Structure formats: structure tokens, C-alpha cells
Amino acid sequence: MLVAFNREFETCVPPVQVLEPRFANLLSRADVLVLLALDPEPEGFALATSRPSPYYDGPIYALDELYIAPDRRGRGLGTELIEHLVDDARARNIGEIQITVDEGDVDTRRFYEKHGFINLQDDE
């Protein structure tokens, strides 16, 4: 799915044989959270990493990736992933979830804002 995600957005991506061991390493770390959207097979995923922050008693999450296969979008799978991420963040005393969205990606920004996230980027 990570390869499909990057190809869809015309981003360079290493070959699968390079990604697999890297992803396996990430999955073994306590500071990495991977969520799968199942319908009933994997149709999307979210990848978040946590790190300490001087601004909160607990760490913060960076949502590094969120992807739903194009033919599965609009069925609530992305919403389910975001809801699970937020629930996990509350359970782990995560102070903030940071998300980076490309400047022109209006639909993605709208999706996150619909789920309570705010845009801190100055649009001017």
C-alpha cells in the first residue's frame, strides 16, 4: 500500500524489497503506531510516530502517512483510522497530533478539518 500511495501522488518510493525490512523495523518500535483499515482485506493504513515535546507532559504524534485505496475512498475507512488514532492518542496521553498536508491538497485538508484538526498554515 505504501508503494501505491507514493505512486498515486507521483512521489519517489524505494522498491518493495527495500521498504519491507524498513517497515518491519518500524513495526517493532514502541514509538510507532500502524493502523490498518480492513474491509475485509487491508484497504488503507495510517502510520504515526511519537516523540517527546517540551510543550506537553506526554509525547506528540506525527501522522506520517494516511492512505485509503482509491476505489475504497468515501466509505468511512479514513474516518475510522482517524478515530482510532485519536482514541489511541488520548489513551497514551499524547499532547497533540501533527499532520502535514501539501499546500494545494484541498480535499485532504478538508478531510482533517472535518475531523476537528485545525490548519495552522498561513494561506496568504
Residue 90's alpha-carbon distances to 19, 20, 25, 84, 100, in angstroms, are 30, 30, 25, 10, 20
pLDDT tens digits for range 36-46: 998 788 899 99
Report the SS3 class of residue 36.
strand
- What tens digit of pLDDT does each residue of 68-99 get? 998 898 999 999 999 999 999 999 999 999 99
pTM here? 0.85
